[in-house]
Amino acid sequence: MTAAPGPAAVPRANTTAATPEEFHQRVIGDAAAAVRGLTVAIGERLGLYRALAEHGPVTPAGLAEHACIDRRYAEEWLHAQLSAGYVEHCRGTDRYALPAQHAAVLADPKAPTFTAGFFTALRALYATEDALVEAYRSGEGVGWAEHDPCLDTGMGSFFQPTYEHKLVPEWLPALEGVTDKLAAGGKVADVGCGVGHTTLLMARAFPQATVHGFDYSAEAIGLARQLAEEEGLSDRVTFEVATADDYPGQDYDLVTLFNCLHDMGDPGATARHVHKSLHPRGTWMLVESNACPEDVCCDCAPAGKMFMSLSAVMCLPVAVAQDGPHALGNHSGEEAFRSIAADAGFTHWRRAVESTAQIVYEARP
Ligand SMILES: C[S@@+](CC[C@H](N)C(=O)[O-])C[C@H]1O[C@@H](n2cnc3c(N)ncnc32)[C@H](O)[C@@H]1O
């Protein structure tokens, strides 16, 4: 296999003109956001945003009572949310409200814009700081298993709203002939499935299909099995600990990799295994971030900024820890994936559908 291109392009410089004071204030704003992240995780875990959405406008004492927390902490947490513009203060009262449009981002896990869940992964990411400092010096990696399991659930929450609203209605129908096969009872492997949100969505939408989820994280697979049980889907979905270049099964009609090929140290070996495990008329669905090396600049979209930072502290170190030949990072771009697929024997490649944050590629043998 020829070497897959990594993110070799030279990033463009940050050309935003700012006075030293403006830049100083901007970085202080980033520092505030970094600390605020912890208040969002706390709010999500304790149901504070949900309590505000349900019972607001509320006083700190009211929030404390509804969410079963201490009143002084409720007050201080509300001040942090107010300073961020996340909640509003009702003039002339001691009450705070979460506007409906903010509730869709912070309080409603079913909304396509729900984002609060991601913040619960910060604990896992920040806790690897020592290991990352060491890895940056040595060139070694920081494996997925070196993180607290809240990385599995937090990252799962990050992508879940998009999957929930796009996978079945938009992405699968964008692939040629796939939904017909699944409706008739096809066989699916969801590789690097994490806690299994995508696996379960496909199993629920296509009751005749058999869906297998594979991930090398035992914690993630344990949580996925639990979710399948809770959703009553254990009869048609299985979850197994397996690596992407060695999962069991043959003649899959569809093999999916959602936001994980770039986390693998040897994406070429994964692509070859996908090719081998597919039915000759099967489809490989690859979902990756809609970011590429040319996007590395200061004015990329918020999702792009998020991907770039995640790559530096999670995606790249996780891939490096797998000792493979290509640690891609999460914004290596379409050409890297296309050439990995071609080298593995895929003859058909298509950008099936895309949004600002994600691209769905279709590859066939
Ligand atoms: C960013 S998460 C995405 C999880 C899930 N696909 C989703 O979209 O929610 C990346 C996943 O890849 C898994 N992973 C990384 N390297 C792997 C490998 N070599 N084999 C199997 N799974 C792997 C991790 O355990 C993690 O669950």
Q: Which atom of ligand 1 is nearest to the CA of 266?
A: 19
Residue pointed to by tokens 């959405």: 53
Please state whether the peptide bond connecting residue 280 to the residue before it is cis, i.e. omega within 30 degrees of 0: no
Per-residue pLDDT of the chain (365 residues), as tens digits, is 333 444 444 455 455 678 999 999 999 999 999 999 999 999 999 999 999 999 999 999 999 999 999 999 999 999 999 999 999 999 999 999 999 999 999 999 999 999 999 999 999 999 999 999 999 999 999 999 999 999 999 998 999 999 999 999 999 999 999 999 999 999 999 999 999 999 999 999 999 999 999 999 999 999 999 999 999 999 889 999 999 999 999 999 999 999 999 999 999 999 999 999 999 999 999 999 988 777 777 767 888 889 999 999 999 999 999 988 889 999 999 999 999 999 999 999 999 999 888 999 999 99
Six-digit token string for 279 = 């039915």
Six-digit token string for 35 = 């600390």
Residues with CB under 6 A from ligand 1: 144, 155-156, 159, 192-194, 197, 215-217, 220, 243-244, 258-260, 263-264, 322
Q: Which atom of ligand 1 is nearest to the CA of 264?
A: 16
CA nearest 163: which of 337, 80, 287, 325? 287
Ligand 1 centroid to residue 257 C-alpha, Å: 8
Exposure on the CB side of residue 302, measured as CA atoms within 13 A: 2
What is 244-279 written as a DSSP string? TTT---S-EEEEEEES-GGG-S-HHHHHHHHHHHEE
Q: Which atom of ligand 1 is nearest to the CA of 322?
A: 19
Six-digit token string for 54 = 């349900």
Ligand 1 centroid to residue 43 C-alpha, Å: 27
Global pTM? Answer: 0.90
Q: Which atom of ligand 1 is nearest to the CA of 156?
A: 9
Distance CA 328, CA 31 (A): 28
Question: Chain-centre distance of CA 258, in angstroms?
Answer: 9
Ligand 1 centroid to residue 8 C-alpha, Å: 24
Look up residue 332 and give its amino acid: S
Question: Chain-centre distance of CA 288, in angstroms?
Answer: 10
Ligand 1 centroid to residue 113 C-alpha, Å: 22
Nearest residue by C-alpha to atom 10 in ligand 1: 260
Distance CA 25, CA 146 (A): 35
Ligand 1 centroid to residue 215 C-alpha, Å: 6
3-state class of 241 per DSSP?
Answer: strand
Look up residue 99 and give its amino acid: P
Long-range contacts of 350-357 (CB under 8 A, 24+ apart): 352/171, 352/174, 352/175, 352/285, 353/170, 353/171, 353/174, 354/290, 355/162, 355/166, 355/290, 356/290, 356/301, 356/303, 357/162, 357/289, 357/290, 357/301, 357/303
Beta strands in 148-277 (DSSP E): 187-191, 210-215, 237-241, 252-258
Nearest residue by C-alpha to atom 9 in ligand 1: 156
CA nearest 336: which of 318, 320, 359? 359
CA nearest 283: which of 336, 354, 193, 348? 348
Ligand 1 centroid to residue 103 C-alpha, Å: 29
